[in-house]
Structure 1
Amino acid sequence: MTLYPSKDTKLELYLRRHLFARGMRYRLHDRRLKGTPDLVFPKHQAVIFVHGCFWHAHAGCSGFRLPKSNRKFWVAKFRRNRERDRRACIWLEEHGWRVLTVWECALRRPVCFTFDELLDFVLCWLAGGCHSCEIRGGEPLPSLVMDIDLRQCRKL
């Protein structure tokens, strides 16, 4: 397993590079937070996880197939990984953080949106204070429900 990096993966670097180019500033792999999120946006009280479809057992995704050899080991490993991810999200939300999970298939093979649309979604999600959600490659981008305080809006 040590041959496969858990941080600074190609997909994570790709997303980071484009978010940085659009003016977003973040912290990386903050170990003080449960699950060590890939990107931490303290200003927005939000974190982003970039999950590989294989290692995090993305159900219903073509990027995940259960290995045929040593099945017991892999089933137990994937179960532990998913449980660890679930506990980390619950802890983060209980402590006031919003969680966005971006799946590998959403970056490699999106079906219903372009990469620019995904970046726009992430920026709106961060700025809008929206609920926690996931971005999957085979589904449309989630709907954003934002609380807008009209008293704080300025007239143009």
Structure 2
Amino acid sequence: MPPYESWASSTAARKVMKGNRSRDTTPELAVRRRLHAAGLRFRVAHRPEPGLNRTADIVFTKQRIAVFIDGCYWHACPKHRTVARTNASYWSEKLAQNVARDADTTSRLQDAGWTVLRFWEHDDPETVATAVAVAVRSQDPTEGSPR
């Protein structure tokens, strides 16, 4: 068997890419703090549908709402997308696959009766939290109110 060949263009690039978080990113934490302060309770990095190997950033299981806060680079934000200077064909294909998977995830969850909310990492956390809270409370008006 040939030795494993890294996809990274250099050791330094590999180290940087391995350091990227898949959960608990700064934008996620900012939104979660605001949702929690609003009295909302949710699951973090949770699989909404057990049979679907996809994880949402924030999940309201009772209301069937899945929230995704997509990173601009990894999900090819039309406003902030960049083109890789090294290994460009690999990254172009990789990001296209990510976008296709995002669309497939949204479609599958909606077909299963979920409300899917997608935001970009550059969106204002207060605005995102407000939109999420409105969606949650429209499904369950008692959510987040004092008991």
TM range (shorter): 0.7 to 0.9
**Larger RCO: 1 or 2 (CA < 8 Å, sep 6+):** 2
Say how many residue pairs are matched.
120
Q: What TM-score results when the alignment is normalised by the length of structure 1?
A: 0.71
- Structure 1: tracts of 5 or more residues without a match: 108-114, 130-156
Match of 1:42 in 2: 61
**Equivalent residue, structure 2, for 1:128:** 138
**Residues of 2 paired with 1:118 and 1:14: CA distance?**
10
Structure 2 runs not aligned, ≥5 long:
1-16, 140-147
Q: Distance in 2 between matches of 1:78 and 1:121?
A: 27
Q: Cα offset for 1:8?
A: 1.0
Which residue is 1:65 aligned to?
A: 82
Which of 51, 75, 83 matches 2:70?
A: 51
Offset of 1:34 from its aligned partner? 4.3
- CA drift of 1:68 comes to 1.9
Q: Which has the larger radius of gyration?
A: 2
User: TM-score, normalised on structure 2?
Assistant: 0.75
Q: In structure 2, what is the Cα distance between the partners aligned to 1:48 and 1:88?
A: 12
Equivalent residue for 1:19? Answer: 35
Give 2:21's aligned residue.
Answer: 5
Kept after mapping to 2: 8 A contact 1:30/1:37:
yes
Query: What's the CA shift for 1:124?
Result: 1.0
Deviations 1:67-87 (A, max 9, x none): 122110111110111111111
The residue that corresponds to 1:96 in the other structure is 113
Q: List 4+ stretches of structure 1 deviating above 4 A.
A: none
SS at match of 2:32: helix
Q: How far apart are 1:15 and its partner, in Å? A: 0.7
Indicate yes or no: 2:102 matched with 1:85.
Answer: yes
